[in-house]
Amino acid sequence: MAFTDMREFLDLLEREGQLKHSDVPLDAGLFNKDLQALMRYVHDDDNRNIAIVLNNLTNYNTPDVPMVFNPYGTRQRTAMTIGQRDPRKAKQYLSDILADQSRWHAPNVIDAKDAPCKDVIISGDDIDVTKQIPHVWFGKEGPAYITNGIGISKDPEDGSVNAGWYRTVLFGGASHPDGKTYPPDLAKNKMAVYAFWNPPMNHIGFHLNKAQRQGKPLEVAFACSCDPALHTASATGVPYGANEMAFAGGLRSAPMDVVACETVDLTAPATAEYILEGLLHFDHEETIGWHSNVAGYYDTAQTLPVMEVTCITHRKNPMWHATIEMVPPFDHNYIGMLPVEGEVLSDLQNKCPEVQDVVVTPNMMYIVQLNVDGADKPHTEFGKYIIHAVWGASGRWGRTAKVVVVVGPDVNPYDLNSVEWAIMTRVQPVSDTIMNRSGQAFVDDPSAPNIDLGFPIQSEQMGIDATIKIPERHTWYREVSNADPDDIARIADLMKDVLG
């Protein structure tokens, strides 16, 4: 099904018992010990891993705005963002839509009077981000971060549109990583943006890099808490120049309504909870920290470009989604993995029909499952060929895969015990691994060397070919000793009164 907005998605979760409301007082202020602990608590037990609307936050600058917590916290809820239930089917569906742009739907521009995101319009001297945008802190993070924003920008040369899920930084009440104090004007109408532009490491970074060469700021708009299909699409590495809002239209099987912004020449999702418009400046950067990242470590200091906010619009009675990246798993861990899996799967299946599945673990290890193994592989060293295909995949994710494992059809890529078994019984460490010293870094990997701006651009990589080595090393392989699934089901039925 296609959702009109985030609210319809949350309504579905509530009807199915996957969302509850809480009036328990929880602290949202700087260095609070409540919200990160709540994230760990709900993710440590599948039975309590639900979405929660928090209605009673303390040390919170917008008490009338409820905070949505953990809406994307399982593979199933992530699959539901694009109208699916089964995570494997959702991945294949995303892969198929990504590969066929004839199934995409260009956004539908509507009149401002019909756009809920225009219910309230704040511009000029009336803008005060400290009062009009929710500020929520997690763990030891120095500033409050906007974690629900889809950044929209245009290529300054050809006008192509990018919509990416990028984190932004709020300066109000922020702790500076070097013990300094931020200039007062930053808090009122400025934000910092995770636009890695020098060198460019994401699509908004490419746009800012081109704007810098033209000597002008980049027009941007951040749409917060949108139709969840757009959040899934915006986390996917679509080809540069392709519009993620059109891809989202393909995922939802219907065009997405957008509306013209007030102060920049862009269109934004008409049903977003908030839109922040502005100018992103290449010649104004600030040091940011601490930041908790997807690898489960704090980034102590990073240098980011600053955005001047020129307009804020929002819905009546808006809501706000806030989250933290931390030791996996956590909320939006899975909505991050689904697009990565679908992106790499789409690229590999286009070239290699022997690829059956791609699984990315919460810790970002890539596992590629083939539908053939042993003598049925199309050529010798086929597992190594697949490893190189991952590193050479289109999109932005495959090339950053630090560890890639290739397995056969009898290995369950969702079960790390099964993957470990394949590695331990089908791999010779020297012969069946590839070491690459010159890979592209995953920017949150703390083990890779940083450049001066506080993030890495180059990383070493390892590929493990855990397929059966026929014909590479053997002419036959021992038969696997395991019970037949039908026999397991029969015994389970016989023993149900004993074992439950």
Per the domain annotation, does 24 fall within a domain? yes
Instruction: Give the end of a domain, one of 321, 340, 364.
Output: 321
Same domain, residue pair 284 and 138: yes
Give percent above pLDDT 70 in the chain. 100
DSSP 48-74: G--EEEE--EES-S-TTS-EEE-TT-S
Same domain, residue pair 316 and 368: no
pLDDT band for position 455 (cuts 50, 70, 90): confident
Same domain, residue pair 317 and 357: no
Same domain, residue pair 303 and 357: no
Give the domain CATH number at 395.
3.40.1670.10
Per the domain annotation, does 491 fall within a domain? no
- Say whether pLDDT at 500 is over 80: no
Any residues with CB less than 8 A from the CB of 71 and at least 6 apart, and which? 9, 10, 13, 19, 51, 77, 228, 321, 331
Strand, helix or coil for residue 21: strand
Same domain, residue pair 210 and 292: yes
pLDDT digits (tens, 9 = 90+) for 23-70: 999 999 999 999 999 999 999 999 999 999 999 999 999 999 999 999
- Which residues is 478 bridged to in the sheet? none
Which H or E run contains 259? Answer: strand 257-260
Among 51-55, 67-71, 379-383, 490-494, whose mean pLDDT is lowest? 490-494
Query: Two tokens at 445?
Result: 């990997």
Same domain, residue pair 259 and 405: no
Per the domain annotation, does 46 fall within a domain? yes
Same domain, residue pair 124 and 266: yes
pLDDT digits (tens, 9 = 90+) for 157-189: 999 999 999 999 999 999 999 999 999 899 999
pLDDT at 270: 98
pLDDT band for position 293 (cuts 50, 70, 90): very high
Same domain, residue pair 241 and 367: no
- Say whether pLDDT at 216 is over 90: yes
Per the domain annotation, does 344 fall within a domain? no
pLDDT digits (tens, 9 = 90+) for 415-429: 999 999 999 999 999
* Number of domains comprising the chain: 2
- Say whether pLDDT at 155 is over 80: yes
Per the domain annotation, does 470 fall within a domain? no
Instruction: Give the end of a domain, one of 321, 342, 362.
Output: 321
- Which residues is 358 bridged to in the sheet? 368
Per the domain annotation, does 492 fall within a domain? no
Per the domain annotation, does 119 fall within a domain? yes
- Say whether pLDDT at 1 is over 90: no
pLDDT digits (tens, 9 = 90+) for 324-370: 999 999 998 889 899 999 999 999 999 999 999 999 999 999 999 99
Mean pLDDT of the chain: 96
Mean pLDDT of all residues in 183-207: 94
Same domain, residue pair 190 and 93: yes
SS3 readout for 22-42? ECCCEECCCCCCCHHHHHHHH
pLDDT digits (tens, 9 = 90+) for 248-270: 999 999 999 999 999 999 999 99
pLDDT at 452: 87
Same domain, residue pair 104 and 201: yes
- Whole domain around residue 423: which residue ranges? 352-465
Mean pLDDT of all residues in 373-400: 95
pLDDT at 124: 95
Strand order across the beta sheet in which 108-109 lies: 108-109, 257-260, 267-269
Give the domain CATH number at 260.
2.30.110.10
pLDDT at 443: 87
pTM here is 0.92
> d(Cα 82, Cα 279) in Å, to the nearest integer?
31
